[in-house]
């Protein structure tokens, strides 16, 4: 598993088998347990059925799968973009109840290594922030306004499989910003391991 994107959990345990069994209820006289038994009998059959539903755009059955990821380092720029996805759920480290640390600048320092102006700007922003909080007694929720957008935080994001498909389509597209594209490409690789028939058409190879 990648360090940048960590799959915390997914549900149900066999997403493809359950998506198939649940979806089959709509057009069948058999009960769900009959269809569920196919998951153990023919993975090829189960996956083909899911692929056909995806091709038809019958994506509501994909909502029965869910996955949650921990992203330990994401810039506030990428955070602002990913949190536009209203059907996903989020938890983000607060800049009100925790103080920003020097570590939160590392992503920017690495990204713009060699640009002296950026290094100077970051040092200055950090010094002003610390001065505001420690010497002037400004609350961290106010002092953070002087910080660059590109500093990082940590977040947890969960979504159902239909929404993950939507996010991957938009955020791994070449028009998306590099950082979010890379993070979502890694999310896609993890999702491919748990439900390939659901994600194979929206996952971009690394």
> Which residues are the active-site residues?
171
Query: How many Cβ atoms from other residues are within 10 Å of residue 153's Cβ?
Result: 19
Q: List binders of ligand FAD among 173-192 (CB under 6 A).
A: 175-176
Taking residues 157 to 176 in sequence order and writing x for each that binds ligand FAD by CB under 6 A, - otherwise, the string is ------x--x---x----xx
Q: Residue 5 or 168: which CB sits closer to ligand FAD?
A: 168
Q: List binders of ligand FAD among 18-57 (CB under 6 A).
A: none
- List helix spans (H) across the chain: 15-24, 32-41, 43-56, 76-82, 106-111, 116-130, 140-143, 161-171, 178-194, 196-199
Structure tokens at 123: 């040092």
Q: Residue 4 or 85: which CB sits closer to ligand FAD?
A: 85
Structure tokens at 81: 């973009």
User: How many C-alpha atoms does 100 have within 13 Å on its Cβ side?
Assistant: 32
| Residue 4 sits in the site that holds ligand FAD (CB under 6 A) | no
Taking residues 52 to 91 in sequence order and writing x for each that binds ligand FAD by CB under 6 A, - otherwise, the string is --------------------------------xxxx----
């Amino acid at each position: 598993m990648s360090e940048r994107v960590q799959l915390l959990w997914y549900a149900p345990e066999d997403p493809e088998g359950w998506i198939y069994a649940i979806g089959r209820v709509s057009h069948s006289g058999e009960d769900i347990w009959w269809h569920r038994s196919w998951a153990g009998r023919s993975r090829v059959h189960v996956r083909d059925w899911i692929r056909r539903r995806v091709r038809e755009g019958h994506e509501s059955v994909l909502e029965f799968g869910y996955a949650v990821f921990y992203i330990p380092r994401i810039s506030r720029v990428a955070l602002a973009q990913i949190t536009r996805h209203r059907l996903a759920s989020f938890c983000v480290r607060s800049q009100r109840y925790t103080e920003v640390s020097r570590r939160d600048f590392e992503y920017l320092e690495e990204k713009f290594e060699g640009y002296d102006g950026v290094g100077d700007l970051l040092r200055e922003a950090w010094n002003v922030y610390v001065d505001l909080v420690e010497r002037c007694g400004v609350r961290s929720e106010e002092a953070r306004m002087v910080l660059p957008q590109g500093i990082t935080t940590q977040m947890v994001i969960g979504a159902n499989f239909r929404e993950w498909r939507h996010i991957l389509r938009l955020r791994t597209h070449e028009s998306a910003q590099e950082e979010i594209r890379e993070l979502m490409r890694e999310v896609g690789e993890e999702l491919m391991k748990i439900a390939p028939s659901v994600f194979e058409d929206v996952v971009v190879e690394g």
